[in-house]
Amino acid sequence: MTFIPEPTKMNSDKFRKVLRDIDTFIFDADGVLWLGEDVMPGSPDFLDHLIKLGKRVIVLTNNATKSRAVYAKKLAAMGYHPSITKDSIVNPAAVVADTLHRAGIHRTDKKMNERDDMVPEFYADCLGALAPRRHRA
């Protein structure tokens, strides 16, 4: 039988102790950092505090309709720390691209149109990995 302790209320002293042991914080985007186009009050300051303490911040979204770069711009426009870049954001396309890379499937040519900021990252980063390999003569 597994013992699961009762949840305890977190106060500032307990949080400081826990904070020392955590190197990376992962936050969901929609509903935690923002809601629609509105920033969640206090969240930019909290993430800024974590980053100043040397903590790594990762932002997750299950929405693949926009690129990680677009989400990074949204975070910046909402006042989040400038160190939160597209490389700090994980979306389904980033997971697929990483999976393809780990499987040894690499892109040989990436073709984008003039509206590359509107092309879902899935197509830009993942499907390009499946481009036919060119054989050298």
Q: Is residue 72 part of a domain?
A: yes
Which residues sit opposite 90 in a β-bridge?
60
pLDDT value of residue 124: 53
| Complete edge-to-edge strand list for the sheet that includes strand 56-60 | 24-28, 56-60, 89-90
Of all residues in the chain, what percent carry a pLDDT higher than 90?
41
Residue 61 domain-assigned (yes or no): yes
Active site residue 116: no
Contacts of 8 (CB under 8 A, 6+ apart): 14
Q: How confident is the model at residue 115 (pLDDT cuts 50, 70, 90)?
A: very low
CB 61 within 8 A of CB 30: yes
Residue 135 predicted with pLDDT over 90: no
Flag whether 70 is in a domain: yes
The answer to whether residue 67 scores a pLDDT higher than 80 is yes
Asked if residue 78 has pLDDT above 80, the reply is yes
Chain segment 4-53, per-residue pLDDT in tens: 777 778 888 888 888 898 999 999 999 999 998 999 999 999 999 999 99
Residues 84, 72 contacting (CB under 8 angstroms): yes
Among candidate residues 13, 21, 28, 38, the one labeled active-site is: 28
Catalytic residue among 13, 21, 23, 30: 30
Q: Range of 42's domain? A: 21-130
Read off the CATH number of the domain in which 25 is found.
Answer: 3.40.50.1000
Q: Has 30 been annotated as catalytic?
A: yes
Domain count, the chain: 1
Give yes or no for a contact between 128 and 109, defined as CB atoms under 8 angstroms apart: yes
